[in-house]
Chains A and B, each alone.
Chain A
Amino acid sequence: METRTAKAYDVVVIGAGNGGLTAAIRVLQAGFSCLVVEKHNLPGGFATSFKRGRFEFEASLHELNDFGSAEEPGDIRILFRELGVEDKIDWIRIPEAYHLITTDKKYDCVMPFGAQAFIDKMEEYVPGSRQSMTDFFALCNEVRDAQAYSSSVNGNTDSDYMKKNFPNFIRAGSYSVNEVLEALHMPKAAQDILGAYWCYLGVDLDRMSFLHYGSMVIRYITRDAWMPRMRSHEISLALEDRIRELGGDIWYHSPAEKILADAPGKITGVQLTDGTIIPTRHVIANCSPHLVFGKMLDPAVVTEPMVRATNARTFSGRGFTLFLGLNKSAEELGIQSHNYFIYDTTDSARQYDMMRKVDTNHVQATVCLNNAYPECSPPGTCMMYFTTMFMSDDWGNVSETDYFKAKDRVADDMIRVFERETGCKIRDAIEEIAVASPTTYARYCGHPQGVIYGYETAGWDSLMPRMMMMKEDAQLFPGLRFAGGYAMRSSGYSSSYVSGDLSGRQTAGDLKREVR
């Protein structure tokens, strides 16, 4: 193969996903040169949109949490402000938190934003829940403050300071969501309703760390969620634009095939599939360690601890999304909420188990974007997207010739369940349809098995120890850091922006130390 050596960069970012784009801006803001290489012809990774007929579909974003208003900004709005992209994007506020429906216990609950409103509503649905809900939010506030402190010191927390200022955080910190809610004596029904967000993190509440869940819930409920007007593609292009403004380069249709290194920790460059070599000593990988240590690095520089640490981890959910453009308005169809969670059962561990198999999975997180932004599609129409995950590689059993039918079967089931649970008849109104399977996600973003949530944040690999070991993990291969869904902050939009922020700033720190 012909090889051509391009000019050298201080940092090469592999993948223009949420984490990679953010990391690149941080590197550039610190005054270092940066090239982003992306296999697809668009920035954003999952954060994109696509058109079908008269509809422009959101590819993945349900709502951006921890964003807040301009006056009371959340952490992500503050980050966007620092990155210089807040004002490049038109923002829309999401009206309500979520609409939970469960088949087994017949829950049908619409929960609002705002801690007080949320507690009041819960008291309406579950009389006697007020005290435990109030305690829950107090505990979550402490979790958020402790995490803010942890981030401010780059994970190098002082344990005496922690014990003194965040004692509840530490005492609750090693337990699962269900263990903590029990300890708060929360009525079971309130636990059920409060647990609705679990599919956003992809781990059942028996195994999900309370700290992780609590920090997400408080970010949703107290700082409300927002959405860019032009779908998440608007965020991705705003970040892309900022990279260009800061003098960074971004190459599309440029899949990185190899990370070149002389020895462990001694990166010399990145090689693209067409043979082009870009010299660099620092790589930020917006892709999975499985790909980096298993395929991109030469086996000679991959040590046993790297292999063990990567093999030890568990892939999270494989994504499946159905997109519908409907030729009737949400009002005509009776679709009242923006964001539905529909579960077979409130028992998240049992539900997780059912999600292992394609045929037994009926979970859906479903959005009707028009109920947040009525003008997102032409008058008299509306758009919906239905997302689920498979908690095993069962989808990998689909054959090439059954592929299109297999997608239709899952999509058909999603429509059936939505119609049954909400009473809204949408099938005859389908004007445009698109289906993204794990195969689709594997195709566009290259993630193993079509995983969309990175590594599972369950048990020993939950969010808190990951954050506390951030520095240690980066020592595994100096010069290489991760951003995006597989990085320390795990998956989701906000988390990916934060991991990009952390890895970008830390890489800039590495470079500054080298200069000194």
Chain B
Amino acid sequence: MKFKKQIFGFMDMLRFTKLVPNRRAALAAGSAEPLPTEYRTNTLAHRLHPGRMQVEVAAVRPLTESMTELTFRRLDGDAFPFFRAGQYVSLQGPVEGGLVSRPYSIVSSPREALQNKLVLGIEDAGFFSHHLNRGVRPGDKFVMTEPSGEFHYETLRDRPQIICVAGGAGITPFLSMAKSMIEGDEPYTMTLFYGARDLAHLAYREELDALAEKGLKVVYVLSDEERPGFAHGFVTADLIQEHADINGSTFFLCGPKAMYDFLAKELAPYALPLKAIRKDATCCGALELDAPRTFTLTVHLRDQVQTIPAREDDTLLTALERAGVDAPNKCRAGGCGYCHSKWLGGRYRVADGRDGRREADRKFGFIHPCVTYPLEDMAIDLPPAE
């Protein structure tokens, strides 16, 4: 075949020889104005995803005998980013020579974030949270990750009615979700079941009662105390069905694993699809081992190498934190992948049901240190925290 566009083929050829001179001329004719240094979409990306933020405590308020509320303001920006109600931040600070982080659900609403206010409700339940409950004063400084996580409403996936079940300190994300609904940023109607031991352990009752007057439906459930106006016992399917439509709703659960297991049994007869029940992740803790051994973890961080002790019952992330290494982490549940690190050697085990790695990560030897325990001396290549 002989291709020809113009009557004479040589005219087509001539056009071809002009391609380079034309481009050369066009490049030279570009504007001499300075190139942009900002792009709107990138500016918004940075606003929404600032990475790690420098924050300080603006206020401390006891909520119950075992729970404290900390209000933060951001020091390295005008305000916190807008986020999805239900998300968490990870708070990092020095404790006893280590550098410790933990994720906490945000109590305040996305609108409040824009006023440079971010509130966390912290239960005194472990190493770092004990410190946060006892030893923190206004003006104390921390590093905080940007709001993250998939425990939030999805308009295109979830039902317009949501049923939220909180166990104890698991109430925190639901305050944000309720406020966000009332502020018009979320389209759902919300029924909240809030289970606690007794009245003294119910945090945020005043706030929830106030939200109830604006459209939140809230049912308090006390397990160890009988009181008029409060349900007694556990959050059972019967109780839920009394106040909401189980089959016509999407569930959001936040609480201890025992609560998730109990509700799974209660809801089993309703044969809900997997998508109808969203559960907030819980931190991966230490293993219960008799006489755990201590191994050596060799940590490559860019061009630096150091060795640190790593206990058999601690995750690699905990070992890094104990040694004061500023290691990347967010969810501490194996899922977010922020601690993604290259495995270089040594056997390990991954916490049951928490292997959130991608398929190819397993093939090529990558690990999530937040859910990985050493079984012998190990070596990893760790990215810096940021």
Contacts and interface: CB of A to CB of B under 8 A. Distances in A.
A238 interface: yes
Nearest to A142: B3
A469 B16 CA distance: 14
A189 interface: no
Contact of B360 (A7, A167, A237): A237
B155 A408 contact: yes
Interface string B125-161: 0000000000000000000000000100011110000
Contacts of B28: 305, 308-309, 312
Given A318-B41, A448-B36, A254 B360 contact: no
B16 A139 contact: no
B159 to A, nearest CB: 10
Interface in B294-350: 302-303, 328, 335, 337-338, 340
A393 B41 contact: yes
Interface in B107-131: 110-111, 114
Interface residues of B, number: 73
Contact of A253 (B32, B154, B275, B328): B328
Contacts of B225: none
B156 A466 contact: no
B156 A449 contact: no
Contacts of A52: 150
B385 interface: yes
Interface SS of chain B: helix, strand, loop or mixed? loop
Nearest to A326: B275
Interface stretch (B18-26, B188-196, B237-245): B18-26
A70 interface: no
B383 A230 contact: no
Contacts of B265: none
A42 B33 CA distance: 35
Contacts of B29: 308, 312
Interface stretch (B44-52, B68-76, B370-378): B44-52
Interface in A274-310: 274, 276, 290, 293-295, 299, 304-305, 307-310
B270 interface: no
Contacts of A254: 302, 383-384
B328 to A, nearest CB: 7
Interface string A248-280: 010111100000000000000000001010000
A342 B106 CA distance: 41
A138 interface: yes
Contact of A433 (B27, B46, B154): B154
A137 B4 CA distance: 15
Interface stretch (B93-101, B214-222, B253-261, B361-369): B361-369
B1 A173 contact: no
A442 interface: yes
Nearest to B21: A465
A344 to B, nearest CB: 22
B352 to A, nearest CB: 16
Given A231-B360, A401-B114, A430-B275, A41 B383 contact: yes
Contact of A139 (B1, B156, B356): B1
A231 B359 CA distance: 9
A175 B22 CA distance: 14
B84 interface: yes
Contact of B26 (A54, A135, A251, A312): A312
A432 B157 contact: yes
A430 B157 contact: yes
Given A238-B364, A327-B274, A464-B19, A310 B35 contact: yes
Nearest to B46: A443
A180 B24 contact: no
A439 interface: yes
A379 to B, nearest CB: 13
B359 A56 contact: yes
Interface string A196-236: 00000000000000000000000000000000111101101
B27 A443 contact: no
Nearest to A306: B35
Contact of B30 (A238, A311, A432, A468): A311
B82 A469 contact: no
| Residue with the greatest number of chain B CB neighbours at <10 A, chosen from A180, A229, A312 | A312
A343 interface: no
A400 B20 contact: no
A352 interface: no
B9 interface: yes
Contacts of B364: 237-238, 240-241
B275 A431 contact: yes
Contact of A327 (B84, B273, B383, B386): B273
A393 B42 CA distance: 11
A400 B36 CA distance: 22
A7 B37 contact: no
Given A237-B363, A403-B82, A51 B40 contact: no
A366 to B, nearest CB: 16
B18 A174 contact: yes
Interface string B5-16: 100010011011
Contacts of A446: 42
B383 A251 contact: yes
Nearest to B303: A6
A192 interface: no
B328 A41 contact: yes
A398 B48 CA distance: 12
Contact of B156 (A54, A411, A462): A411
Contacts of A123: none
Interface of B: 1-5, 9, 12-13, 15-20, 22-24, 26-37, 39-42, 44-49, 81-82, 84, 110-111, 114, 150, 154-157, 185, 273-275, 302-303, 328, 335, 337-338, 340, 356, 358-361, 363-364, 366, 383-386
Given A400-B82, A443-B45, 11 more contacts: A49-B358, A51-B335, A53-B274, A171-B3, A237-B360, A241-B364, A295-B35, A307-B33, A311-B35, A393-B41, A430-B156
Q: Which 6 A-B pairs have the closest CB atoms?
A: A312-B30, A294-B35, A396-B40, A171-B12, A174-B15, A252-B383
28 contacts: A41-B383, A50-B358, A51-B356, A139-B1, A159-B17, A167-B13, A170-B13, A170-B16, A171-B5, A174-B19, A230-B359, A234-B360, A241-B364, A251-B302, A309-B28, A310-B30, A310-B35, A311-B31, A312-B30, A312-B31, A393-B40, A400-B82, A403-B48, A438-B41, A439-B45, A449-B42, A450-B41, A460-B26
